[in-house]
A and B are shown apart, each in its own frame.
Chain A
Amino acid sequence: MSAALNLRNLVVCALLIALALLPAYVTASGNIFVLTLFTRIVILGLAAVSLNLILGYGGMMSFGHAVYLGIGGYAVGILAHEGVYSGFVQWPAAVAASALFALVIGALSLRTRGVYFIMITLAFAQMAYYVVAGLARYGGDDGLTIYKRSQFFAPLDLTNKVEFYYVCLAALFGAIYVVNRLVNSRFGLVVQGSRSNDVRMRAIGFPTYRYRLTCFVFAGMLCGLAGALIANNTDFVSPSMMYWTRSGDLIIMVVLGGMGSVVGPLIGAVALLVLEELLSGFTEYWQIILGPLLLLVVLFARGGVDGLLAQFSARARA
């Protein structure tokens, strides 16, 4: 991201500030619903930012990213079910379990490219879905209710909606900062180089497989954290949170927002979920509008919202 003062950066800053000040508006207006909606947006924004790390920067078209939402969520759910409520145990467990899963499927799927990679990540995610749906002890198909949210040190109480919102927002901002540092580091440049031309990167001596795998695992860990947050947000986990259409939603957010920048997917998450909310208020059959709309975005607005803003800024400068 360039530091220049242009329309795109202004919009991004405005969005981040608006997110930070949202609870103040909610307390003033008493509109709790907006806070609930935006807590979800912030969490899914975090997941989309993590997906963009591999999709946008790494060129790895994973169609199974929602699986980490499920794994992170179930790590929290299962531990809570077994009587472990400490967030200091639950959250690292969610991240570690996601890392382990990402390591195994990444090691297998990164042997392939292109369409194979799309289909394989999809298939492995679906496998995890069926496994979780078969866990009779933890609710199986019906899901698992979480009776107590993760517990941290005394003043922090996740059942307080505003406090929980800020925890999610802190995780999102932290992730944006880390991902931004990462993609501009030597590591990030190697991964991006491998996206453009893997053969050349290997020829000049980079073991790109290891770099890509590390990137894949890190994205999985971030998304696993988002999963732990979702579980706390809904007090409920079910296999449907890792169903493949959820992965599709995450891809939509990334592409809708724009893959060219770290914040793009967050814009996409806001755009998609607010759009869903508006359309579903308008008609029960809102997906009949959303579907063709996606097709139009693909056909005519490749760079997403972020791309449009960048174009506009460039034109304004010229």
Chain B
Amino acid sequence: MTALFFEQCLNGLQFGLLLFLLAAGLTLVFGIMDLVNLAHGSLYMIGAYFAATLTAWTGSFVIGVLLALVGTLLVGMAIEVIAMRRLYGRDHLDHVLGTFGLILFFDELVRLIWGPEGLSLPLPSWLNASVTIVPGFQYSAFRLAIIVVTLAVAAFLYVLVMRTRVGMLIRAGASNREMVGALGVNIKLLYTLVFGLGAALAGLAGMMQAPILTVQIGMGENILILAFVITVIGGIGSIRGAFIAALLVGFVDTLGRSYLPDLLRSILTPNAAATAAPALSSMLIYLLMAIVLVLRPEGLFPAVRK
């Protein structure tokens, strides 16, 4: 029982960290460019497709994933240069509509290239194993690897944004675009890089989720909504908020799905519990969001706006 609980906690942590990768890109792009990007889920999907294809080509999971990361980064930068750049400073409704158009485009493009059936991304044997964490308790090596990689990425993001010169320019660009441009910084290039970074983060999330689920069209859409919920809970534009909210959502969702049915069975009749449990456990995170909104309409960590 305790072992199972511990495992579910680790699953929650892993899921939360994965969601953080997605939400971080979303909130970064929103906080800095004031851009609502619905097509973020498409980048998640593209990352997964790239990883699956490149792993099959190169025969190596690690090389495949690294190449796919670069690929997603380039796709993100291309999207920024071709489309997003023209949307800055426009109404949010324009962002929603324009990026919705991009979703349609990418879903169809993927269907055209890879066909309607999904792909699978098989794990190499060294990741497809179990690791003994404490004697008598084993955990999937791959899920553990996800936890390690995402934590490293979170630390990297923190150092990049808060401790480096590029990060300083990014923060400066967020508070006053014209002024940074006037001081001789190539703000356009900076934005392209930030968008590419967000894309690579989304792609990374996609390729790490790919071996657990299948790679398929529309895989980014459901998880995009979760990323939205996280940015709303954490406060739009705040990376720290996204991190904490992502962990919160990961835990609530995972633990809710595994323990709510039992909990309901102890209160309700088995029949009623069987009906209510799936509906209620999928509602949990939205209830969480509703509660946060009632208490703090700006999210837990509202980003300081100019």
Q: Hey, what's the 0/1 contact readout for A239-257 against B, CB within 8 Å counting as 1?
A: 0000011001001100100
Task: Name the residue among B36, B96, B102, B236 with the largest chain A CB count within 10 angstroms.
Answer: B96
Complex interface residues of chain A between 28 and 71 (CB less than 8 A to chain B): 55, 61, 63
- Cα distance A127–B284 when bound, in Å? 9
Known: A108-B290, A248-B100, A255-B97. A134 touches B282 (CB 8 A): yes
A294 at the interface (CB under 8 A from B): yes
Residues of A within 8 A of B293 (CB): 108-109, 111-112, 120
B14-22, B129-137, B225-233, B238-246: which one contacts chain A?
B225-233
Once the chains bind, are A291 and B108 in contact (CB under 8 Å)? Answer: yes
- Cα distance A116–B237 when bound, in Å? 11
Report the minimum CB–CB distance from A108 to chain B (whole Å). Answer: 6
A20 at the interface (CB under 8 A from B): no
Residues of A within 8 A of B3 (CB): none
- Cα distance A246–B235 when bound, in Å? 27
Residues of B within 8 A of A61 (CB): 92-93, 96
Report the minimum CB–CB distance from A302 to chain B (whole Å). Answer: 8
Question: Who on chain B is nearest to A302 by CB?
Answer: B94
- Cα distance A217–B178 when bound, in Å? 41
Once the chains bind, are A119 and B232 in contact (CB under 8 Å)? Answer: yes
- Cα distance A290–B106 when bound, in Å? 11
Complex interface residues of chain B between 77 and 93 (CB less than 8 A to chain A): 83, 86-87, 90, 92-93
- Cα distance A123–B101 when bound, in Å? 20
B181 at the interface (CB under 8 A from A): no
Once the chains bind, are B221 and A294 in contact (CB under 8 Å)? Answer: no
Once the chains bind, are A291 and B228 in contact (CB under 8 Å)? Answer: no
B1 at the interface (CB under 8 A from A): no
A298 at the interface (CB under 8 A from B): yes
Once the chains bind, are B221 and A244 in contact (CB under 8 Å)? Answer: yes
Known: A119-B231, A285-B111, A285-B112. A294 touches B286 (CB 8 A): no
B278 at the interface (CB under 8 A from A): yes
Instruction: Among A116, A124, A137, point to the contact of B286 (Cβ < 8 A).
Output: A124
Residues of B within 8 A of A111 (CB): 293-294, 297
Complex interface residues of chain A between 277 and 299 (CB less than 8 A to chain B): 285-288, 290-295, 297-299
B62 at the interface (CB under 8 A from A): no
- Cα distance A297–B92 when bound, in Å? 15
Once the chains bind, are B108 and A288 in contact (CB under 8 Å)? Answer: yes
- Cα distance A193–B97 when bound, in Å? 24
- Cα distance A137–B278 when bound, in Å? 12
- Cα distance A135–B106 when bound, in Å? 32
Question: Who on chain A is nearest to B94 by CB?
Answer: A298
Once the chains bind, are A112 and B297 in contact (CB under 8 Å)? Answer: yes
Residues of A within 8 A of B7 (CB): none
Known: A285-B108, A294-B100. A134 touches B279 (CB 8 A): yes
Known: A245-B221, A287-B105. A251 touches B283 (CB 8 A): no
A131 at the interface (CB under 8 A from B): yes
Question: Who on chain A is nearest to B282 by CB?
Answer: A130
Known: A61-B92, A126-B225, A294-B101. A131 touches B109 (CB 8 A): no
A118 at the interface (CB under 8 A from B): yes
Residue total for A at the interface (Cβ-Cβ under 8 A): 45
Report the minimum CB–CB distance from A91 to chain B (whole Å). Answer: 25
Q: At the interface, is chain A mostly helix, strand, loop or mixed?
A: helix
- Cα distance A285–B107 when bound, in Å? 10
Task: Name the residue among B90, B282, B298 with the largest chain A CB count within 10 angstroms.
Answer: B282
B139 at the interface (CB under 8 A from A): no
Question: Who on chain B is nearest to A286 by CB?
Answer: B108
Residues of B within 8 A of A288 (CB): 104-105, 108-109, 112
Report the minimum CB–CB distance from A247 to chain B (whole Å). Answer: 10
Once the chains bind, are A251 and B98 in contact (CB under 8 Å)? Answer: no
Once the chains bind, are B103 and A291 in contact (CB under 8 Å)? Answer: yes
Residues of B within 8 A of A245 (CB): 103, 221
B275 at the interface (CB under 8 A from A): yes
A136 at the interface (CB under 8 A from B): yes
- Cα distance A295–B101 when bound, in Å? 6
B289 at the interface (CB under 8 A from A): yes
Question: Who on chain B is nearest to A124 by CB?
Answer: B286
Residues of B within 8 A of A255 (CB): 93, 97
A97 at the interface (CB under 8 A from B): no
- Cα distance A133–B36 when bound, in Å? 28
Known: A108-B290, A123-B228. A118 touches B96 (CB 8 A): yes
A94 at the interface (CB under 8 A from B): no
- Cα distance A108–B30 when bound, in Å? 23
A114 at the interface (CB under 8 A from B): yes
Residues of B within 8 A of A266 (CB): none
Once the chains bind, are A287 and B107 in contact (CB under 8 Å)? Answer: yes
Once the chains bind, are B93 and A293 in contact (CB under 8 Å)? Answer: no
- Cα distance A61–B91 when bound, in Å? 11
Once the chains bind, are A299 and B98 in contact (CB under 8 Å)? Answer: yes
Task: Name the residue among A63, A114, A127 with the largest chain B CB count within 10 angstroms.
Answer: A127
Question: Who on chain A is nearest to B225 by CB?
Answer: A126
Known: A123-B228, A134-B279. A63 touches B96 (CB 8 A): yes
Contact surface of A with B, Cβ cutoff 8 Å: 55, 61, 63, 108-109, 111-112, 114-116, 118-120, 122-124, 126-127, 130-131, 133-137, 244-245, 248, 251-252, 255, 285-288, 290-295, 297-299, 302
13 more CB-based (< 8 A) A-B contacts, given A116-B236, A251-B96 = A109-B293, A119-B231, A119-B236, A123-B232, A124-B290, A127-B282, A131-B282, A136-B274, A245-B221, A285-B111, A288-B112, A292-B101, A299-B87
